[in-house]
Amino acid sequence: MNKKEAWIQETMESLEGLKIPQVSSSLDEKILKHLFQDEIKVIAIRPQLTWSIAASLLLLIGLNCISLIQYNKNQVNEKQSDAYTLYNNYFLYTEQL
Amino acid sequence: MEEQELIIALQSRQETAYVLLVNQLGGKVYHTCLGLLQNEEDAEDITQEVFVSVYQSIKQFKADSKLSTWIYRIAVTKSLEYLRSKNRKKRFAFVQSLFSTDNELKTDVGHFHHPGVQLENKERAAILFSAIDKLSENQKTAFVLHKLEHLSYIEIAEVMNSSVSSVESLLFRAKQNLQSLLGDYYEKNEK
């Protein structure tokens, strides 16, 4: 065995007698804290629930749209009736004169 | 506590069962991750991720293999995924360095000093770890599980989801490649 081969052989064997390093107690604590104190929760949402949430949102948006349209219509009607009252009052006043 | 009892306790999320599991396998998982990642901080992070993964998916564990084998498999998968993402970042950093004004490549290339190596072997072990890092994923996994964890060929085959003969072949090629890499290193530095 020449010098190079001997060096390779020794390097390949440098892991012999390797000790498994002790895991620090802080790592154990960190893992357990992460598991139980940070509360990892896997929330499974059923498809029915997803669809009912979507339907509720759609209904809410629809109701809002309808009430907005209704409110606009009422505003226009109110404006028209105000003008009509003013018009009537004016002619009543002129007739009295 | 027998393994079957432990699995049931883990599935019902009993804290004492997890304390026992972390005490039993925490060190081995950390050691496997350390061998593959060659970085103590990364190994700690991935060890944590492994146990979170166990916590989340223990209900799907069908006990068709040993619990420790299943956990080793998670540790190997997570470590290799982490290495892949790290290598992607390195490649990106290399591309960025081509366009940046300072032509310094910022990568963390350096020798890894394993904390369990005997003092007289420290320098040579660091060279060997550097060569291990250059092996393909499968060769590296098989070598680390065999040389560092002292797993049998059958256990390595179970962890890697392959046959005993392919593990034998992986280890044979890993040794050949390591000898070749060390030979090159010797020619450049030790001669």
Q: Is residue B43 scored above 90 in pLDDT?
A: yes
Is pLDDT at B149 greater than 60 in this prediction? yes
Closest-CA distance, B80 to chain A, in angstroms, reads 20
What tokens appear for B93 in the block? 């950093």
Residue with structure tokens 């396998």? B25
Residue in A8, A15, A36 nearest the CB of B125:
A15
Q: Which residue of B has its CA nearest to A13?
A: B125
Q: pLDDT tens, B135-147? A: 999 999 999 999 9
pLDDT-derived band at A1 (thresholds 50, 70, 90) equals low
Query: Which residues fall within 8 angstroms of residue B27, CB to CB, at 6 or more apart?
Result: A20, A21, A22, A23
Within an 8 Å CB–CB cutoff, is residue B28 touching chain A? Answer: yes
What CA–CA distance (Å, rounded) separates B184 from A80?
96
Instruction: Inspect the interface and report whether the beta carbons of B116 and A4 lie closer than 8 Å.
Output: no
- Per CB-CB distance under 8 Å, the chain B contacts of A18 are 114, 116-118, 125, 147-148
Query: CA distances (Å), B127 to each of A48, A51, B70, B106, B182, in order?
Result: 59, 59, 31, 21, 8
CB contact under 8 A, A36 and B121: no
- Eight-state DSSP code of residue B5: H
Please give the ipTM for the structure prediction.
0.77
- Could you tell me if B21 and B10 are in contact, meaning their C-beta atoms sit under 8 angstroms apart? yes
Of B47, B56, B121, the CB nearest to A40: B56
Tell me, yes or no, if B184 comes closer than 8 A to chain A by beta carbon.
Answer: no
Backbone angles phi, psi at B137, to 5 degrees: -55, -50
What is the per-residue pLDDT across A7-33, written as a single tens digit (0 to 9) for each?
999 999 988 888 877 777 788 888 888
Nearest to A11 by CA among B179, B42, B10: B179
pTM comes to 0.72
**B114 lies within 8 A of chain A by CB:** yes
The residue among B45, B23, B35 whose CA lies nearest residue B116 is B35
- What pLDDT is stored for residue B42 in this prediction? 93
A90-94, B4-8, B32-36, B77-81: least confidently modelled range? A90-94
Least confident of A31-40, A60-69, A86-95, B35-44: A31-40
Chains A and B: how many Cβ contacts under 8 Å? 94
CA angle A27–A32–A37, rounded 5-degree value: 125
Q: Which helix or strand (DSSP H or E) is residue B182 part of?
A: helix B164-185
